[in-house]
């Protein structure tokens, strides 16, 4: 459960963002948490795909501004012996 707490701490879980602000969404299902692979926004009291304006159909537990997205470390190169 500590990894879930750590992951949730990276996202705002209390209030929705300002309308039309591009954000990354954290969702939860029976397998755990995941992020939506496209930019979303809060608009007209619901989560929407920022590009298509379609309603996001997921169990959303948090959001964060796109700018705060963590940078992934590159994979280490394999060494030949």
What is the 3-class SS of 4-73, one letter each residue?
HHHHHHCCECCCCCCCCCCEEEEEEECCEEEECCCCEEEECCEEEECCCCCECCCCEEEEEEHHHCCCCC
pLDDT in tens, 29-76: 999 999 999 999 999 999 999 999 999 999 999 999 986 544 444 555
Evaluate whether residue 49 is within a structural domain: yes
Evaluate whether residue 77 is within a structural domain: no
Give me the domain span that covers residue 14: 2-68
User: Could you tell me the pLDDT band of residue 4, with boundaries at 50, 70 and 90?
Assistant: confident
Evaluate whether residue 79 is within a structural domain: no
pTM for this model (two decimals): 0.77
Evaluate whether residue 43 is within a structural domain: yes
């Amino acid at each position: 459960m500590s990894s879930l707490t750590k992951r949730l701490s990276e996202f705002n879980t209390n209030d929705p963002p300002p309308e039309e602000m591009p954000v990354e969404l954290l969702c939860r299902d029976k397998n755990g948490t995941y992020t939506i692979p496209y930019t979303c926004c809060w608009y007209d009291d619901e989560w929407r795909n920022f590009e298509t304006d379609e309603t996001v159909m997921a169990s959303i537990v948090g959001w964060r501004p796109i700018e705060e997205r963590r940078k992934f470390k590159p994979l280490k190169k394999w060494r030949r012996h």
